[in-house]
Structure 1
Amino acid sequence: MDRVDRPPSRRAFLDVTGATVAAGLVASGCSWDSAEPRRPAPSAAAVPTRVPATGRHQAGVTSPRSAQRNLLAVVADLATAASPGPLLDELGETILALTAGSDPRLLGLSPGDLTVTVGVGPRLVRTAGASLPGAVDLPRFSRERIAPRERGGDLLIQICADDALLLPTAAAALLDQAGDRVRERWRQSGRRGTDVPVAEGRTAPRNLLGFIDGIVGPHTDAEQERDLWLAGPPAVAGGTLAVLRRMELALTRFAALTVAEQEAVFGRRRDSGVPLSGGTVASGPELGAKTPDGRYLVPVDAHVRRANPTAVGVGHMLRRSYSTDEPAPGLLFISFQNELRTFTATLTRMDTSDALLPFTTTTAGATFLILPGFDRQHPLGSTLFR
């Protein structure tokens, strides 16, 4: 039964909290993630490249190309009397000031590669149009233990940066700008693990379960136009749909399996990431490949088989997921796609017999329309809320 939490106070809502996070990216599934290009190792002299906040798409989805190491996601509700248009306009102006380093609420910190990505939940989307992408709530699935306050929400603020100090500072500035017009539901910090090579010019992180994660996804511009970005209607063109799921992982129980049993759960070799059907780490699994005695090389319940986009009949998801250690070791799963069905059909198929799911419990979940890109002439959210 879901527990009912008391809503946070205004003081708690504006509280700036540090982010204590686990190293390594936890995967709900190898085939759900998008590999990232190799990024240089950090050094004391390294200065992160600033990421433009304006453009056709919001930053923080495909830019920067290699996801920053730290993330803070804040999910909130809009007050009944508040209008989304003016609020989003002000948040957009604050984002421009924060990423330019001109907002005094940064307290002297350099913005570095800070990105802020804003999405609106189904309830707000429906006020603009019941048939718009993003107007449908995320359905319930098995293996969920989600408190009412941690299901759904009107507003997503995703903050990413290599410098972990920027996350709570930027969040406090944005929430201060929003004031009493929003009420926080939940927040989650996370950190990505170190990337390892998987192909020419591409890397992927190893996750807390020991496997390389981030091998399959929409990598090229053409694939992203097909599977990631919304082409229309005009009010949402250039946006995308996000799914957030916070999961706890049964690390001790998974570690009790033999290496061969762990590899059967994923369908890949733990040390190299190569599919059990052979090839290279970048190879797609050959789902029809069998042993001489007729057994599938990739087990029928292996994650790479159950979540395979071709087998499901959907497009690829772009994933920027982060590992967590509070409230428990796990994963903040974040996927971006231009159809919610890409996620729901995949998880529905996984729900029936995916060997990885019994090691996960989902404790928070929501979906959001990530608004199209913006600039000073075209304020954030202005295409949807005039």
Structure 2
Amino acid sequence: MRGADHHPSRRRFLDATGAMVAIGLTAGCESHADRPDGPGAAAPATPSPRPVAPAGRHQAGVTVPQPAQRNLLAVVADLGPGVAAGPLLAELGRTVLTLAAGTDARLMGLPPGDLTVTVGVGPRLVRTAGPSLPGAADLPRFSRERIPPQARGGDLLIQVCATDALLPPVAANALLDQAGDRLRERWRQSGHRGADVPVDKGRSAPRNLLGFVDGIVGPHTAEAQERHLWLAGPAPVAGGTLAVLRRMELDLPRFAALTVAEQEAVFGRRRATGNPLSGGAIASDPQLGAKTADGRYLIPADAHVRRANANAVGAGLMLRRSYSIDEPAPGLLFISFQNDIRTFTDTLTRMDSSDALLPYTTTTAGAAFLILPGFGEAKPLGSTLFR
């Protein structure tokens, strides 16, 4: 876990090796290295990811891009004493625009690619803007939590995502540099998404460290997102959403000791395909009432897909952009977006009573944030809530 200092606990450097292509100096002479398909030919360049517009009705990094970028860095921080939220957020928004445009010198010459920055404010700040606004309530405590005070809650979330693994820490550093001593970092977490598995109609989802496809169910159409994801009002928060972050350690050795059938019973899905145990394809709705000939549920009573099922909970859908992590311990950074915090709290309350997956998890950090509405040059970040 990161403390208030800004020095990473572990740094990774990517080493690049270049290949010299031999050039024939005598006209008419050709070596294997001269040929495009020869052994000395340079590897084809990786296509640059498509840029993501940072301005608009919604902030980038929630529903766009699709699929989500491979790499994420989430930084949770507090505002210093007496710091006004409005001017700070406006500065951060302007920095986001220059980072996305590639004009910020603090990018160190890196092309921005599909870089996205998503900014949210915690309950304490939301209450200063309006105590009844969505996002003003602190998260309740749940079972299987081992969260130190430094890793619970926070005033500000900066979520940075990119296909290029170098960009999130570099962009986050630029934003923290812009904030200076007005921000005090609480904790940060980097994460990576596994290989994408096709789900439905051009949509995909990654595998997690337990080997299962993660994030299959959610509000994936524009209509469903308007209903379950985006805040329609009040006016100051319209176009925003609510985010929950939970960093969870996974007991990989104990889960790996289960047979594949036992692992599938924990999730309620096939490990190889993601298909529900009740049958159908990966995108099929789990049939919770389906039984075997001798009367047993095809999806066990405590399977994760049953306990977290929105219809069974009586709650809305949450959009998940979860990332696997390897420090401070192997696990998962769970991020859910929803327009009603009860979507998350009611779901986890039901899971708390009986969910076969929870005994393999321990939550070590958690917070909730109001993801601010979209912004642009004429509408500074946070200007609908803070002066």
What is the TM-score when the length of structure 2 is the normalising length?
0.90
1:29-44 alignment runs, 5 A limit: 44=45
Moved more, 121-130 or 270-279: 270-279
Corresponding residue for residue 64 of structure 2: 63
Report the 3-state secondary structure (helix = DSSP H, G, I; strand = E; otherwise coil) of the residue aligned with 2:189: strand
Deviations 1:246-294 (A, max 9, x none): 0000011001111111111011111111111111111111101111211
Q: How far apart in 2 are the matches of 1:64 and 1:247? A: 25
Does the CA contact (< 8 Å) of 1:16 and 1:168 recur in 2? no
Per-residue deviation, residues 19-46 of structure 1 (Å, max 9, x unmatched): 69xxxxxxxxxxxxxxxxxxxxx97331
User: Which structure has the greater CA radius of gyration?
Assistant: 2
Relative to structure 1, is the Cα distance of residues 133 and 370 closer, same or farther in structure 2, using a 3 angstrom cutoff?
same
Q: CA RMSD in A?
A: 1.6
1:198, distance to aligned residue in structure 2 (A): 2.1
Aligned equivalents of 2:117 and 2:221: distance in 1?
23
Tell me which residue corresponds to 1:25: none
Residue 229 of structure 1 and its aligned partner are, at CA, apart by 0.1
- Pairing partner for 1:13 from 6, 13, 38: 6
- 1:110 CA displacement: 0.5
Determine if contact 2:214/2:322 at 8 Å carries over to the other structure. no
Contact 1:19–1:190 (CA under 8 A) maintained in structure 2: no
TM-superposition CA deviations, 1:152-181 (whole Å, max 9, x none): 000000000001111111111100110111
Match of 1:34 in 2: none
The gaps in structure 1 that reach 5 residues or longer are: 21-41
In structure 1, how many angstroms separate the alpha carbons of the residues matched to 2:157 and 2:333?
14
- Decide whether the 8 Å contact of 1:59 with 1:116 is kept in 2: yes
Deviation of residue 18 (structure 1)?
A: 3.6
State the match for 1:236 in structure 2. 237
Distance 1:299 1:166, change over 3 A: same
Determine the structure 2 residue equivalent to 1:252.
Answer: 253
Other-structure match for 1:346: 347
Q: What is residue 297 of structure 1 aligned with on the other side?
A: 298
The Cα shift of 1:305 comes to 0.2
AA aligned to 1:317 is: M
3-state SS in 2 of match to 1:143: coil
Q: How far apart, in 2, do the equivalents of 1:223 and 1:350 lie? A: 23
Question: C-alpha distance in 2, partners of 1:73/1:95?
Answer: 15
Which letter does structure 2 place at the counterpart of 1:197? P
* 1:1-386 pair list within 5 angstroms: 8=4, 12-13=5-6, 18=11, 44-386=45-387
Please, which runs of 5 or more residues in structure 2 have no aligned partner?
Answer: 14-42
Deviations 1:180-227 (A, max 9, x none): 111000000000011011223222212211112222110100000000
**Cα distance in 1, alignment partners of residues 288 and 169 from structure 2:** 44
The alpha-carbon deviation at position 17 of structure 1 amounts to 6.4
User: Counterpart in 2 of 1:31?
Assistant: none
For residues 330 and 6 of structure 2, what CA distance do their matches in structure 1 show? 24
Cα deviation code 1:29-82 (max 9, x no counterpart): xxxxxxxxxxxxx97331111100000000000111210000000000001110
SS in 2 for 1:245: strand
Instruction: Tell me, in whole angstroms, the C-alpha distance in 1 between the residues paired with 2:9 and 2:90.
Output: 23
Q: Which has the higher contact order (CA 8 A, sep 6+)?
A: 1
- The answer to whether the Cα contact below 8 Å between 1:312 and 1:345 also exists between their aligned partners in 2 is yes
Q: Partner letter of residue 298 of structure 2?
A: L
CA offsets per residue over residues 114-156 of structure 1, 9 Å max, x none?
A: 0000000000000000000000001110000011100000000
Paired amino acid for 1:180: D
Which residue identity is paired with 1:375? G
Alpha-carbon separation, structure 2, partners of 1:43 and 1:379? 41
Of all paired residues, the percent bearing the same amino acid is 75
Which has the larger displacement, 339-348 or 270-279? 270-279
Q: Aligned partners of 2:269, 2:109: CA distance in 1, in Å?
A: 46
CA–CA distance in structure 2, aligned partners of residues 43 and 229 of structure 1 = 40
Which residue in 2 is equivalent to 1:30?
none
Q: Distance in 1 between matches of 2:72 and 2:12?
A: 9
Q: Aligned pair count?
A: 358
SS in 2 for 1:235: helix
Which secondary structure state, in structure 1, belongs to the residue aligned with residue 255 of structure 2?
helix
In structure 1, how many angstroms separate the alpha carbons of the residues matched to 2:156 and 2:287?
41
CA gap of 1:7–1:211, structure 2 versus 1, over 3 A, is closer
CA distance in 2, matches of 1:266, 1:152: 29
Contact persistence 1:238–1:373 (CA under 8 A)? yes
Partners of 2:208 and 2:323 within 8 A in 1: no
Q: CA deviation at 1:14?
A: 6.5
CA distance in 1, matches of 2:360, 2:142: 15
CA distance in structure 1 between the partners assigned to 2:329 and 2:8 by the alignment:
21
Distance 2:102 2:201 in 1: 35
Separation of aligned partners in 1, 2:200 and 2:2 = 48
Q: Is the 8 A contact 1:152 1:367 kept in 2?
A: yes
Distance (Å, rounded) in 2 between the aligned partners of 1:327 and 1:97? 32
CA spacing shift, 1:19–1:324, aligned 2, 3 Å: farther
CA-CA distance at 1:15 after TM superposition? 6.1
